[in-house]
Structure 1
Amino acid sequence: AKGEPFEIKAELTKRPKTKKEAEAFLENCRTANFSIENITIRPAKKTPAAPFTTSTLQQESARRLGYTVSQTMMIAQRLYESGKITYMRTDSVNLSNYAVESCKKVITSTMGKQYLKTRQFTTKTKGAQEAHEAIRPTYMEKQSTEGTVQEQKLYDLIWKRAVASQMAEAELEKTTVVIGMDNDTENKFTLTGEVVKFDGFLHVYKEFYDDEQEQENESRLLPPLKEGQILEHEKITAIERFTQHPARYTEAGLVRKLEELGIGRPSTYAPTISTVQQREYVEKGDREGKEHTYKFLVLTKNGTITDTIQTEKTGSEKAKLFPTDIGIVVNDFLTAYFPNILDYNFTADVEKEFDDVAGGEKQWTTLMRDFYASFHLSVESILATKSEHKVGERILGIEPKTGKSVSVKIGRFGPVIQIGTADDEEKPRFSQFKKGLSLETITLEEALDAFKLPRTLGDFEDKTVIVGIGPFGPYVKHNSKYVSVPKDTDPLVISLEEAVNLINNKREVEKQKLIKNFPEEPELEVRNGKYGPYIAYKGTNYKIPKNLIPKELELSTIMEIIHQQNEKGTTPRRKKYAAKKK
């Protein structure tokens, strides 16, 4: 090639299955001459997406703005209530004639007639009712809106999507280059690139890619090339790749799946996802990937082949939905005993039957009677079935010291580890799960570690210091007072010195909360609280009038305040701890 040298990246169309095949191919490439065999240039068009439905708005705002499903609906609700957008719970992709005409005016006046192409879309969603128009700004000529930053961003997204839906297609030129070898007619390298000839709707609404690699491939610009052109390889790499498990759902991805399966309506997507998280069947979080090794072969420019083992971390998950132990157990139970109701088609079929009721084709009483008759029998049958196997129970092994069985199961307050059984003479011992452990993966060693607590660390101020673990996590106990152990500190290895530091740190915090106390009334304190200073006396809190300075309060004044508030019945809440129902 004439002029400055350039670099292009091409990929082999047929992938080697083994390391032996890859080595043989690289060996062949050593003596090969590379040239461009074919260049195919074809025009292509990109069509704008339909205006937003509830589902697509939730998905796109999650991808572009990072909003959760419930957050998107809350912001959209505020925009709707203030008259800025149309109703936000809809499965329709249609725009009214008024909206289409408004889009026409906006597009022609701001961008020109060449950008205009009106159209109506057809929904492909299973069981869509299309009772409302697609989500769009109430007044299309208003490109922006007032309000919070979040409201402005969501409005901008809705406006751009609605306007783009009535704009011309983007015109592209896609180029595919095939590179051949003079000593191998079977294997070919290919590379692709594209050039935007007319941006069309992309002028307003840029395409968004979940896959960065896809975006890189689509936007790659190619240098001037011609058939028969001789190329030199800089380096040729062969990288070992492994099959990845399917990615877990994000909130937006779960919405898309619910819509595909016909489960629920636009108004139920966000509440459904919020409910399974509130009930702790599912938790949203991040997971670090696992590090593994892979083989890496490189043919350099001077003809040397290097063979190395490299490491990488794969499978990391960010802001994904993970089933909890309780969620897995509940799902297994329902799937085993109510398979027809847990079937994906059940909800969709019921939705159709409800539509028939709404259309006057079926009686709702008949529908409910038919369902309940079989459902009631199933419930009665399951209640009558006595299973010796506890919910989610798994036997891990035997405790070496006592010879008793070690098991895990779901208890009243979540997953628990148990040593012994109810049939033993001694009562079984129980322990909570450490964070990060699950019913399915916990080992015998990890379970036994949980019973190493509580443990005595030593004495401080003539009182014993104990570290243990409770319902809210690990703690240090000293003189009947508790201090939480930080998440980054392992309670199994914490030292007495570290525990004393935690105790002293808590005391310092408590001192800052105390404004004033009275030796003659040990149960009386003036304290700093979350909502300002207050009086604490015999387990009850009292407000301090705004015209008084807390530090200057005398005992007689405080007692008068307490007396007045008790007489008026304005005494604030006394702390109460209600027992949980069995």
Structure 2
Amino acid sequence: MPSALIIVESPTKVKTIKKYLGPEFEVKASVGHVKDLPKSKLGIDIENNFEPIYEVISEKKKVISDLKKSAKKADTIYLAPDPDREGEAIAWHVASEIGGGKKIYRVLFNDLTKRTVIAAINNPLELNVNKYEAQQTRRILDRLVGYQISPILWKKVQRGLSAGRVQSVAVRIICDREADIRAFVSEEYWNITALLEGKEPPPFEARLTKIGSKKLDLASETQTQEVLTELKGAPFVVKKVEKKEIKRSPAPPFTTSKLQQEASRKLRFSAKKTMSVAQRLYEGISLGEEGPVGLITYMRTDSVRIAAEALEEARTYIEKVYGKEFLPAKARVFKSSKSSQDAHEAIRPTATTYPPQQIKPYLKGDEIRLYQLIWNRFIACQMNPAVFDQTGFDIEAGRCRFHAQGSIMKFPGFSAVYTESTDKEDNDSEEMAGKILPDVSEGDELRLISLDPQQSFTQPPPRFSEATLVKELEEKGIGRPSTYAAIISTIQNRKYVNLEKGRFHPTDLGAIVNDLLVENFPSIMDVKFTASMEDRLDMIEEGKLTRHKTLEDFYTPFKSELEKADEEMRDIKREETPTDLTCDKCKSSMVIKWGKNGKFLACSNYPDCKNTGNIAQDENGVISKAEAQSTDIFCDACGKNMVIKEG
């Protein structure tokens, strides 16, 4: 009969862990959270130090019952949900339901290999009260904000809307970017490229960089033509030749946010999909007769730290597969950022004995693609730099100065395995990379083959992609890597933003809700305030701050904002925005109103005239009445076709 019970989070983990342990261990799953705040009410006793009122999730009552039966038969209980705040909360809630005086320990699995599982069981820990307090504080904060702001939005805009302590700030970031784009005024500018030839081939391009002592600033075609006329009669003379060796080092192994960004750019995965696939790779994939194997380390981390044994494995693999010339003298050690908790390792393969091509038959398409990405990044991070010979020429033509640059790869190094993608890969330095320049000497006169003027216009800041939004959230300290996927999914599910051609656009609903929240809840919607709250949660986990103090400091000003907003927030349901359009029934002016399905046109002579219509808006923001979309459904009253209307 089993003498020890191990409780993990997911049924998949059960299979992976069972094969490493003897018959004295029973392994069961909680299947996620077993307790939570009630859905139908606030669930927080504000007057009693913000005490949360948890209840067993209805669909988990049978799970709890089964766990209690297993716990009664065991001498020792090991709680092994994920090694993060949410996992700690699950452990505490399970313990509160099945304790019964048994010895209860916490075990943490950074990966699900035999070595790690057995080591964790042999070195169990106590439940981490500080980590649990940090999770509870976040949960209570989110509940206080969401459950108390949302009803005000229902009253002032429409039912079913939600606000969130972090999600609303993410929407604000997208709305602020949209405002920047709309306010942007594009300006014309010109570049000039010269095609030149030295004594030896090949011909090469050089770009105009200066006129006299000033940086290039050609704002019109007229100015550009004047410079072109001047250049056509000028000798092009090499003034400076610079040759140097450039080394490019590999990127560190993946953190959660970097994995989400790279998977978005390279694989077109959403953050949610990336985390879902990574979870499967972590929990274990069945590799035929070998059974389930945890293929990667824990995927929620902000650390770039690598275990010593993993470094040695990687170095052995690199020397064997790629050769000694690809292996640095010492293992690369990367420093985590100052804000990193460094609680877990970087995301990496659990063993080099599972190269992607070898296990590909056992993995689904998305699994092998993400595993290959993680594998390549990890192996590359322990390889020698890529080495380039870079050449640059400065060329004078009268008072104009041109620059040409080219580089040739001497040694691929880590780039033989992996190169990091960027958000904008068409910058000037990339344009020049890989171009071969001829041998020239200072003082050589070059032959001008042609001059190519190019007209361009300054561009507004780009809308956020999933990758750049994750990057922005991380840089501003909004949320934590483990929450980015949920944030991005939530703001789309709430219809506050749309993802169009890979870029986020705020919806009309998102823009209105954002405006109202910024006007009425300035602290909640302040990016720096939200980031500082994340820092306070970290301090609670470190034992430097208490849950009660944090909640008290937050709630006093928040309560004042709530009371004021309930009285003073604009009532969007009652607002009317004038237009230049005329009602086609009574000739009164049409106005824009807000209904349960969004904006619509209505006659200002309501209720005498009840004419309404859908809104059409062109790219310049000009509003017109959209043609009604007819359906095949007939009206019961008059027999005519029904039409689709919004609002």
Deviation at 1:454, TM superposition (A): 6.6
1:544 — aligned with what?
none
2:245 — aligned with what?
43
Write out aligned runs for 1:63-102 (5 A): 63-82=265-284, 83-102=294-313
Q: What secondary structure, in the 3-state scheme, does the structure 1 residue paired with 2:550 have?
A: helix
Write out aligned runs for 1:111-260 (5 A): 111-117=322-328, 118-124=331-337, 127-144=339-356, 145-146=359-360, 147-181=363-397, 184=398, 186-209=399-422, 210-213=424-427, 214-260=429-475
The 10-residue stretch of structure 1 (401-410 or 70-79) with the greater mean CA deviation from structure 2: 401-410
Where structure 1 has 5 or more consecutive residues not aligned to the other structure, the ranges are 287-318, 473-582
Give the whole-Å Cα distance in 2 for the aligned partners of 1:453 and 1:357. 56
- Change in CA separation of 1:322 and 1:388 when aligned onto 2, cut-off 3 Å: closer
1:278 — aligned with what?
493
2:613 — aligned with what?
431
AA paired with 2:643?
G
Q: 2:523 aligns with which of 321, 340, 347?
A: 340
Structure number with greater Rg is 1
Q: Is the 8 A contact 1:326 1:410 kept in 2?
A: no
Q: Is the 8 A contact 1:51 1:135 kept in 2?
A: yes
Which one has the bigger helix percentage?
A: 2
Deviation at 1:89, TM superposition (A): 0.9
1:267 — aligned with what?
482
Q: Is the 8 A contact 2:579 2:591 kept in 1?
A: yes
Give the whole-Å Cα distance in 2 for the aligned partners of 1:356 and 1:159. 34
Q: Is the 8 A contact 1:75 1:150 kept in 2?
A: yes
Establish whether residue 110 from structure 1 lines up as the match of residue 321 from structure 2: yes
Deviation at 1:339, TM superposition (A): 1.1
Q: Is the 8 A contact 1:420 1:429 kept in 2?
A: no
Give the whole-Å Cα distance in 2 for the aligned partners of 1:202 and 1:157. 13
Give the whole-Å Cα distance in 2 for the aligned partners of 1:174 and 1:5. 18
AA paired with 2:517?
L
Q: 1:59 aligns with which of 255, 261, 270?
A: 261
Deviation at 1:43, TM superposition (A): 1.7
Q: Is the 8 A contact 2:516 2:569 kept in 1?
A: no
- Change in CA separation of 1:120 and 1:270 when aligned onto 2, cut-off 3 Å: same
AA paired with 1:67?
F
Deviation at 1:231, TM superposition (A): 2.2
> Would you say how many aligned residue pairs link Structure 1 and Structure 2?
424
Q: Deviations over 1:77-96 (max 9, x none)?
A: 11111101111111111111
- Change in CA separation of 1:326 and 1:386 when aligned onto 2, cut-off 3 Å: closer
Give the whole-Å Cα distance in 1 for the aligned partners of 2:332 and 2:251. 11
Give the whole-Å Cα distance in 2 for the aligned partners of 1:389 and 1:135. 47
Q: Deviations over 1:79-136 (max 9, x none)?
A: 11110111111111111111111111111212223322312111236x3222211000
Q: What secondary structure, in the 3-state scheme, does the structure 2 residue paired with 1:189 have?
A: strand
Q: Is the 8 A contact 1:92 1:130 kept in 2?
A: yes
Deviation at 1:396, TM superposition (A): 1.2
Q: Is the 8 A contact 2:583 2:611 kept in 1?
A: no
The 10-residue stretch of structure 1 (225-234 or 23-32) with the greater mean CA deviation from structure 2: 225-234
Q: Deviations over 1:488-522 (max 9, x none)?
A: xxxxxxxxxxxxxxxxxxxxxxxxxxxxxxxxxxx
Give the whole-Å Cα distance in 2 for the aligned partners of 1:392 and 1:39. 67
Give the whole-Å Cα distance in 2 for the aligned partners of 1:3 and 1:382. 76
Give the whole-Å Cα distance in 1 for the aligned partners of 2:227 and 2:388. 35
Write out aligned runs for 1:519-538 (5 A): none
Give the whole-Å Cα distance in 1 for the aligned partners of 2:532 and 2:223. 52
The 10-residue stretch of structure 1 (248-257 or 218-227) with the greater mean CA deviation from structure 2: 218-227
Q: What secondary structure, in the 3-state scheme, does the structure 2 residue paired with 1:341 have?
A: coil
- Change in CA separation of 1:86 and 1:455 when aligned onto 2, cut-off 3 Å: closer
Deviation at 1:392, TM superposition (A): 7.3
- Change in CA separation of 1:464 and 1:425 when aligned onto 2, cut-off 3 Å: closer
- TM normalised by structure 1 equals 0.68
2:644 — aligned with what?
469
In angstroms, what is the RMSD of aligned CA positions?
A: 2.8
Give the whole-Å Cα distance in 2 for the aligned partners of 1:212 and 1:154. 25
Q: Is the 8 A contact 1:329 1:391 kept in 2?
A: no
Give the whole-Å Cα distance in 2 for the aligned partners of 1:259 and 1:73. 16
Q: Is the 8 A contact 2:199 2:440 kept in 1?
A: no
Q: What secondary structure, in the 3-state scheme, does the structure 1 residue paired with 2:440 have?
A: coil
Q: Is the 8 A contact 1:285 1:322 kept in 2?
A: yes
Q: Deviations over 1:353-384 (max 9, x none)?
A: 12222222222123212322221221111112
AA paired with 2:391?
T
Deviation at 1:279, TM superposition (A): 0.7
Q: Is the 8 A contact 1:115 1:168 kept in 2?
A: yes
Establish whether residue 415 from structure 1 lines up as the match of residue 599 from structure 2: yes
2:204 — aligned with what?
8
Give the whole-Å Cα distance in 1 for the aligned partners of 2:308 and 2:481. 23
Q: What secondary structure, in the 3-state scheme, does the structure 1 residue paired with 2:524 have?
A: helix
Q: What secondary structure, in the 3-state scheme, does the structure 2 residue paired with 1:173 have?
A: strand
Where structure 2 has 5 or more consecutive residues not aligned to the other structure, the ranges are 1-196, 211-215, 285-293
Deviation at 1:55, TM superposition (A): 0.6
- Change in CA separation of 1:250 and 1:389 when aligned onto 2, cut-off 3 Å: closer
Deviation at 1:324, TM superposition (A): 0.5
Write out aligned runs for 1:302-381 (5 A): 319-381=502-564
Q: What secondary structure, in the 3-state scheme, does the structure 1 residue paired with 2:453 have?
A: strand
Give the whole-Å Cα distance in 2 for the aligned partners of 1:163 and 1:136. 9
Q: Deviations over 1:254-278 (max 9, x none)?
A: 0000000011111110110011111
Give the whole-Å Cα distance in 1 for the aligned partners of 2:644 and 2:493. 24
Write out aligned runs for 1:277-296 (5 A): 277-286=492-501
- Change in CA separation of 1:110 and 1:233 when aligned onto 2, cut-off 3 Å: same
Deviation at 1:161, TM superposition (A): 0.7
Q: Is the 8 A contact 1:48 1:169 kept in 2?
A: yes
- Change in CA separation of 1:3 and 1:228 when aligned onto 2, cut-off 3 Å: closer
- Change in CA separation of 1:410 and 1:61 when aligned onto 2, cut-off 3 Å: same
The 10-residue stretch of structure 1 (382-391 or 36-45) with the greater mean CA deviation from structure 2: 382-391
Give the whole-Å Cα distance in 1 for the aligned partners of 2:208 and 2:433. 18
Give the whole-Å Cα distance in 1 for the aligned partners of 2:603 and 2:527. 39
AA paired with 2:344?
H
Write out aligned runs for 1:463-542 (5 A): 466=641, 468-470=643-645
Give the whole-Å Cα distance in 2 for the aligned partners of 1:102 and 1:349. 40
Q: Percent identity?
A: 34
- Change in CA separation of 1:207 and 1:39 when aligned onto 2, cut-off 3 Å: farther
Q: What secondary structure, in the 3-state scheme, does the structure 2 residue paired with 1:89 have?
A: coil
Q: Identify the structure with bigger relative contact order (alpha carbons < 8 Å, sequence gap 6+).
A: 2
Q: What secondary structure, in the 3-state scheme, does the structure 2 residue paired with 1:342 have?
A: coil
Deviation at 1:403, TM superposition (A): 4.3
- Change in CA separation of 1:23 and 1:471 when aligned onto 2, cut-off 3 Å: closer
Give the whole-Å Cα distance in 1 for the aligned partners of 2:574 and 2:392. 58
Give the whole-Å Cα distance in 1 for the aligned partners of 2:563 and 2:618. 35
- Change in CA separation of 1:273 and 1:388 when aligned onto 2, cut-off 3 Å: closer
2:621 — aligned with what?
441
